[in-house]
Amino acid sequence: MDYNCSSALQQSVTISTIDISKPRRQNLSIGGSYTTVRIQMRKLRLRNIYLFLRSLYKCHYEECQPHAFKHLSTGCKRELSFTSLRERESSSFVMEELRETRITENMSEEEEDARAEVDIWRYVFGFAEMAVVKCAIELGIAEVMEGHGTPMTLSELSTQLGCEPTPLHRIMRVLVHRRVFKEKFTSNGTRGYALTPLSSRLMKHGKRSMAALVLLESSPVMLAPWHALSACVRGNGPPPFKVAHGEDVWSYATGHPTHSKLISDAMACDAGLAVPAIVEECCDVFDGVGTLVDVGGADGTTLRMLVKAFPWIRGINFDLPHVVSVAPACDGVVHIGGDMFDYVPNTDVAFLKWVLHDWGDEECIDILRKCREAIPEDKGKVIIVEAVIEEEEEHRLKDVRLMLDMVMMAHTNKGKERTAKEWSFVLGQAGFSRHTVKPIRAVQSVIVAFP
């Protein structure tokens, strides 16, 4: 099991990847006056576990440090425990994190029931969570706080945002509870609000911004199809997007430039997350590449980043004509409008990020064949950036990948996220002789297929 501690939770912590392989049995017990976390594993790297627990702890409870930490070792069974200064907070926090990473296997029925009693409310109010975050983005709360530079009181925030203090206080109370913002004292000792690592993801600009993805998924156009999901699962209805809008998402985007821009902006924001991981973790894949076609490359953001990182590459951004006609110009990138079901421009490497998951197997094989025809038989390759659904093992992003699969069900005709076996199937059917799969620190993995 991999815990990447430089991820979502761990911005302030300087450790990178912790490898905890094959958990065998794991227990969590909360002591009366201190917190004990017991983890039993076949291969235990004590230092990594220590860092993992301590970093989780430090990240959310900056002001309280473990004042004791010890480990015991008896053969293959080892026990780590640490004692906190603020026992109650740390114990509930550690319990919550461990549950989220699904390492509590030994829950009793009563514990499961107690958990369900709380969990069910997440589904009752699931949409409200998205709506509150959307509201924060639309109001530009994080941007105003960033501009201010120091913690802001409610009165300062409401004045700058031009909002009523009472409803703003209620919104902020929820957002603080969800760690989107935090409470901090201002320089003159009054209570104020400050940014957290989550806040920067809600800003409309910046390297970490995910605002455009929230705005796309929470748009009325993308929300409407979800109401037709059960009919789609029963198999007695057209695809949900078609039920809601009378056509598929790509034809809809052709006739609705505002929605098309919403999609391209959201894709650009995912490029900002995934491409740096590709560049850092798979740079050898781009060695000696002359030309690279980004098939379904949207506004060219991905390609701009790739060409900047690997300046020897000549990039072709290939997407539907209405998409490339509004794509910004960029040195080293040529925009070509066309339909990938007709052809893919000739190239050394065809690159597809978050394109194949929009399509069922038949179309996916068709697109891959077009890519195969476009590359040289001897040194050509196809680079695919897509999620790989884990069948057995757990991963901190597994839930995101499963939700993405639901998004495909709601928003495309036959699109889906695929397991490693399903990727092998479509690649084999498209005539590729072999492929490699490399997980990166993103929702997607990098699959490289060879003719």
Ligand X SMILES: C[S@@+](CC[C@H](N)C(=O)[O-])C[C@H]1O[C@@H](n2cnc3c(N)ncnc32)[C@H](O)[C@@H]1O
Least separation in angstroms between CB 340 and ligand X: 4
DSSP-derived 3-state class of residue 229: helix
Closest distance to ligand X from the beta carbon of 385 (Å)? 7
| Number of residues near ligand X (by CB under 6 A) | 18
Applying CB under 6 A, does 297 fall inside the site for ligand X?
A: yes
From the candidates 259, 335, 357, 411, give the one annotated as an active-site residue: 357
Q: What character string, x for contact with ligand X (CB under 6 A) and - otherwise, covers 235-274? A: ---------------x----------------x--xx---
Residues written for the chain:
451
Tell me whether residue 91 or residue 301 sits nearer to ligand X (CB atom): 301
100 noted as active-site residue: no
- Measured in whole angstroms, the distance separating CA 121 from the mean position of its chain's CA atoms is 23
Under the binding rule (CB under 6 A), the answer on residue 296 touching ligand X is: yes
Query: Minimum CB separation from ligand X for residue 320, in Å?
Result: 5
Dihedral (CA of 190, 196, 200, 202) sign: negative
Question: Closest residue (Cβ) to ligand X?
Answer: 296
H or E segment to which residue 79 belongs:
strand 77-83
Binding segment toward ligand X, per CB under 6 A, in 112-120, 179-187, 327-335, 337-345:
337-345
Interaction of residue 363 with ligand X, rule CB under 6 A: no
Which residue has 């740079």 as its token pair? 283
Per-residue exposure over 305-337, b if at least 16 CB sit within 10 Å of its own CB, e if not: bbbeebeebbbbbbbbeebbeebeebeebbbee
Query: Which has the closest alpha carbon to 409: 234, 226, 267?
Result: 226
Query: Taking CB under 6 A as the rule, does residue 97 contact ligand X?
Result: no
Residue type, 259: H
Contacts of 403 (CB under 8 A, 6+ apart): none
Contact between 320 and ligand X by CB under 6 A: the answer reads: yes
Does position 319 interact with ligand X (CB under 6 A)? The reply is yes
Indicate which single residue of 175, 313, 340, 426 sits in contact with ligand X (rule: CB under 6 A).
340
Instruction: Name the segment binding ligand X (CB under 6 A); options: 7-15, 130-138, 350-358, 372-380.
Output: 350-358
- Smallest distance from ligand X to CB 367, Å: 8
CA dihedral for 60, 40, 29, 72, sign (positive or negative) = negative
Is 79 part of the annotated catalytic residue set? no
Q: Which of 232, 292, 355, 371 binds ligand X (CB under 6 A)?
A: 355
Of 211, 213, 232, 298, the residue at the interface with ligand X (CB under 6 A) is 298
| Residues contacting residue 318 through CB under 8 Å, at least 6 positions apart | 293, 294, 295, 296, 297, 324, 336, 337, 338, 340, 344, 345
- The reply to whether 113 sits near ligand X by the rule CB under 6 A is no
Q: Which of 97, 143, 156, 417 is catalytic?
A: 417
* One character per residue 418-447, x = contact with ligand X (rule: CB under 6 A): ------------------------------
In terms of CB distance, is 203 or 298 closer to ligand X?
298
Q: Cα separations (Å) of 200 from 140, 160, 169, 182?
A: 11, 18, 20, 13
Of the candidate spans 22-30, 222-230, 351-359, 433-441, the one that interacts with ligand X by CB under 6 A turns out to be: 351-359
| CA distance linking residue 156 with residue 274, whole number of Å | 36
341 in contact with ligand X (CB under 6 A): yes
Residue 37 CB contacts under 8 Å (≥ 6 apart), including other chains: 28, 53, 80, 81, 82, 94, 98
Residue 145 or 293: which CB sits closer to ligand X? 293
Q: What letter represents residue 226's amino acid?
A: W
Whose Cβ is closer to ligand X: residue 325's or residue 436's? 325
Is there binding between residue 354 and ligand X (CB under 6 A)? Answer: yes
Q: Which of 127/341 has CB closer to ligand X?
A: 341
Shortest spacing between CB 426 and ligand X, in angstroms = 17
Q: Which span (129-137, 141-149, 215-223, 292-300) binds ligand X, by CB under 6 A? A: 292-300
Q: How far apart are CA 114 and CA 119, in angstroms?
A: 9
- One-letter amino acid at 207 equals K
Q: Give yes or no for residue 20 binding ligand X (CB under 6 A).
A: no
The smaller minimum CB distance to ligand X, of residues 9 and 273, is found at 273
The residues that bridge with 18 in the sheet, in sequence order, are 3
Q: Which one of the listed residues 363, 386, 395, 411 is annotated catalytic?
A: 386
Helix 165-177 with 154-161: angle, nearest 10 deg: 110
Q: Which residue type, as a one-letter code, is found at position 237? A: G
Residue 123: count other Cβ atoms within 10 Å of its Cβ: 8
Q: CA torsion, points 157, 159, 162, 167, in degrees to nearest 10?
A: 60
Complex with ligand X: residue 57 or 250, whichever CB lies closer = 250
Point out the residues that are catalytic. Answer: 357, 386, 417
| Residue numbers at the binding site for ligand X (CB under 6 A) | 250, 267, 270-271, 296-298, 302, 319-320, 323, 339-341, 353-355, 358
